[in-house]
Amino acid sequence: MTADSAQLSMEDDLVPAGGYRGYVLAFDIDLHQKTFTGKITRGEPFQTIFNLGRLEVDETGMCLISTADPAHVSHAALIRKVRGREATLGSNVRVSEYVRLAPGPVSLRRLSRLSGVSLTDSVAASSARPGRAVEMPGWTAVLAALAKLAPESAAEVAALDARCRRMQRERRTHGLEIMAMQRDAVGLVLDFTGLDRAEILQNQMPMNPGEPRPALDLLRRRTVREEDLLARDMKVFGDWLRLDQLESKRNVVHFQQKGGATVTVFSAHRNELEETTGVDLIYFHDRFNSFVMVQYKRVKLDKEGRNGVYRFDGSYEDEIERMRRLRRHALLNQDRTSLNDYRLHGDAFYFKLCDPLDIPISPRDLVPGTYFPLELWDWLLQNGFGVGKRKGRALHPEGVRNLNNTLFVNLVRDGWVGSVSRGVQDLDALVEESLAEGRSVIGARKH
């Protein structure tokens, strides 16, 4: 298969089977021993603080727990870092889904000797003594040794290992989906501007399955050509988006056609990709004084695996309320003063329902999907199109009117849709609202 025809697929090609990090926890304070041993015995999840080093928010790992004798471990469990109060001595973690090691507690010294991994040096104690993560493939060796030393619980530990791998795969898949949506938003901007989107996406923005990264970080600056000038500017973006506190999470790139228009693209986000709730694209066209905002949503296959369906997630109500509120903002509803202010449709807000990202797509293409103006979206929901087969909240894009990639790009590029506006400086508020909801923002301005 040539580079031109290579396909991208979230599930099969981009998400490796992968692994996770393992940990060893010890309760070396009497109160902790009594409290948490009781919860483990009753099968109740608990939340506490451990100094674990590299564990990231929402990352799931597996742990071995020493509840009484610090030289022995008595249980295996899942461990996940959670959001919560600031912890100066470690990380807020949630421990759950315990497996009691049988026939009895396992000596850490024997487990270390049999696996070849020094576990005694990795123990994190509840007294805030720092621990150390056990990386793959070392943790795989630990589990293999554990199966020999605790054979009666081997099947349950193996099931816990499989569940942990699945949860990490889902987390990585989410990060790659966000990266694909950001990359698609940059591709849309390039199409709006008339630049060679296919060449830039394929040759200068390759997706690395091993490390989900923000879209603009994907650019290969060593392949820059004169007619596609890409210059990084981390400090100045005209009079727009002077968010100094986001400097470490912001990237600015200029694309310029030879003798033609320039488009400045920035990305802003506060969280890692795996923790980001979604992607917004905000585009301002100087010639038409027009804003267009696209909010990305993922479509999944239904249970039969045949048709796509969008299921309303937990943040949907807040997002739709924000769009409806901003839709009434005076900035986006200026009076026409010139021929360029004429619109077929003056709404700035659109949803893009992306086709399931486990379906292979060409790296040269935009993510297949459908666009819905907010006005049409509201009408669909008011007329029963947002109810699934089992009366749940769901919308099937097939069979309802929408805009495809080509039509949407042409309408935005030629100024037939979008707001009638006079400036960009007040859109900081829109960016801030997106960031406050945990979303990432791809912003662009065509000069």
Q: Are residues 143 and 176 in the same domain?
A: no
Number of folded domains that form the chain:
2
Q: Are residues 318 and 247 in the same domain?
A: yes
Q: Is 156 inside a domain boundary?
A: no
Q: Is 78 inside a domain boundary?
A: yes
Q: Pick from 89, 117, 149: which residue ends a domain?
A: 149
Q: Is 158 inside a domain boundary?
A: no
- pLDDT digits over 56-103, tens only? 767 889 999 998 888 999 999 999 988 665 555 678 899 999 999 999
Q: Is 415 inside a domain boundary?
A: yes
Q: Which pLDDT belongs to residue 230?
A: 31
Q: Are residues 190 and 251 in the same domain?
A: yes
Range of the domain at 177: 171-446
Contact 398, 307 (CB under 8 A): yes
Q: Are residues 74 and 217 in the same domain?
A: no
Q: Is 72 inside a domain boundary?
A: yes
Q: Which pLDDT belongs to residue 7?
A: 58
Q: Is 233 inside a domain boundary?
A: yes
Q: Are residues 54 and 196 in the same domain?
A: no
Positions of the chain with pLDDT under 50: 1-6, 12-16, 221-249
Q: Are residues 238 and 349 in the same domain?
A: yes
Q: Are residues 145 and 179 in the same domain?
A: no
Q: Are residues 143 and 180 in the same domain?
A: no
Q: Which pLDDT belongs to residue 330?
A: 66
Annotate 255-297 with three-state secondary structure. EECCCCCEEEEEEECCCCHHHCCEEEEEEEECCCCEEEEEEEE
Q: What is the CATH classification number for the domain harbouring 24? A: 3.10.590
Q: Which pLDDT belongs to residue 248?
A: 40
Q: Is 301 inside a domain boundary?
A: yes
Longest CA–CA span in the chain (Å) reads 82
Q: Is 166 inside a domain boundary?
A: no
Query: What count of other Cβ atoms lies within 10 Å of the Cβ of residue 30?
Result: 8
Q: Which pLDDT belongs to residue 124?
A: 92
Strand 123-125 relative to strand 22-26, pairing: parallel
